[in-house]
């Protein structure tokens, strides 16, 4: 396992983290979750991510039982959760009036409930699961700062905030001498690149912001299991086909007007994986991990043995030569263009990712 500093902090997280969004929807699989956490820990994974909304709190309950059952020393774990929705937003369950958003009331009450579910005395990181347009940002920041002062959390971060929103938060923190957010949790994978590779560049440069990226395998689409356009039994898009969130993913990638091009792309990536001697899953994970702006890439698993394959992705990173990266970009055809070359007034094609695949000096080898 490789460990990386979480941005401009002294805490180190495993380059691959474990999340439990989908497992959090299945309370009948708690014993399986214990085995998945046991496997992750044995492979050196120390970063475990969940949220108050995962399965109406079931995700936090599962982790709490697993940590207790396995007797993992607390100091060896980096545990994060997220606050915004007290219940998952992708269901029809009615939310109470103060169970959504980033008011002081919901943040403090929500963190305390999360700690009870997780059976922990403190959380290492708590994220604002989304930006709250209705609550004064100063109120939100002061609530997190108070939780840090009380020792209930160590750090706070953001998830899917814009660069401007994060800069605004940091300005308030600087003005009021409050603890700023230390990391952002955005989606980042071969199919979703623009925000991470372009918008957040100044945050990474100016503040050395950490990142705990989610969906590095794009909901399993990049694993190779859907290369024939079918959804095999046991696969995510089959098992969770009634999920509103996964229906959105299906519509985004597998709609009739998009499916043909998608399958060509996926099969071409499969050929690249075969060429360098890895699985398609490992290629997709290694591609994310090669970017030095990534502190940790959060993956999930429905079976413990899946983590063996995923962790081996770290060995594939060194196989992503400039030639292989160029071939991948030609397949994806979504390489962001950054900045302007003022000599020609044309987009500068030297993108941030190309400069970042060399490991950061702060990564712990």
**347, two tokens:** 């987009």
User: Which whole-number Å values give the CA distances from 120 to 1, 29, 212, in the listed order?
Assistant: 25, 21, 21
> How far apart (Å, rounded) are the C-alpha atoms in residues 141 and 125?
14
> How far apart (Å, rounded) are the C-alpha atoms in residues 18 and 34?
12
How many other CB atoms are found less than 10 A from the CB of residue 296? 30
Contact 60, 42 (CB under 8 A): no
Which residues are designated catalytic? Answer: 54
Contact 309, 279 (CB under 8 A): yes
The secondary element (H helix, E strand) that includes residue 342 is none
* Sign of the Cα pseudo-torsion (270, 275, 277, 283, in order): negative
Q: How far is CA 92 from the centre of its chain?
A: 25
Give the number of residues written for the chain.
Answer: 365
Contact 338, 197 (CB under 8 A): yes
Contact 72, 41 (CB under 8 A): yes
**236, two tokens:** 């995510």
Contact 157, 210 (CB under 8 A): yes
> How far apart (Å, rounded) are the C-alpha atoms in residues 28 and 91?
18
> How far apart (Å, rounded) are the C-alpha atoms in residues 148 and 155?
7
């Amino acid at each position: 396992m490789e460990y990386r500093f979480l941005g401009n902090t002294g805490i180190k997280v495993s380059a691959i983290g474990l999340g439990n969004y989908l497992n959090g929807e299945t309370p009948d699989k708690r014993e399986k979750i214990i085995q998945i956490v046991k496997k992750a820990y044995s492979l050196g994974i120390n970063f475990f991510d969940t949220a108050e909304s995962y399965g109406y709190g079931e995700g936090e309950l599962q982790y709490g039982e697993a940590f207790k059952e396995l007797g993992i020393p607390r100091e060896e774990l980096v545990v994060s959760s997220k606050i915004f929705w007290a219940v998952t937003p992708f269901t029809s369950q009615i939310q109470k009036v103060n169970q959504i958003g980033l008011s002081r009331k919901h943040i403090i009450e929500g963190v305390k409930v999360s700690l009870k579910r997780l059976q922990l005395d403190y959380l290492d990181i708590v994220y604002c699961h989304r930006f709250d347009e209705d609550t004064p940002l100063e109120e939100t920041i002061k609530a997190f700062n108070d939780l840090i002062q009380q020792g209930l959390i160590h750090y706070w971060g953001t998830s899917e905030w814009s660069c401007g929103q994060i800069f605004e938060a940091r300005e308030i923190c600087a003005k009021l001498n409050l603890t700023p957010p230390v990391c952002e949790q955005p989606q980042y994978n071969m199919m979703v690149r623009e925000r991470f590779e372009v918008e957040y560049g100044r945050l990474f440069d100016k503040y050395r912001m950490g990142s705990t990226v989610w969906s590095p395998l794009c909901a399993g689409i990049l694993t190779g299991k859907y290369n024939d356009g079918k959804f095999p039994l046991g696969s995510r898009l089959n098992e969770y086909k009634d999920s509103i969130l996964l229906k959105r993913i299906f519509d985004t990638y597998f709609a009739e007007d998009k499916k043909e091009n998608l399958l060509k792309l996926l099969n071409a990536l499969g050929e690249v994986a075969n060429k360098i001697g890895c699985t398609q899953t490992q290629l997709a994970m290694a591609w994310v991990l090669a970017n030095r702006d990534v502190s940790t890439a959060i993956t999930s698993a429905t079976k413990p043995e899946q983590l063996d394959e995923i962790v081996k992705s770290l060995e594939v990173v060194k196989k992503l030569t400039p030639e292989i990266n160029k071939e991948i970009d030609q397949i994806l055809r979504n390489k962001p263009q950054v900045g302007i070359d003022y000599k020609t007034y044309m987009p500068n094609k030297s993108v941030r990712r190309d400069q970042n695949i060399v490991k950061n000096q702060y990564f712990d080898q």
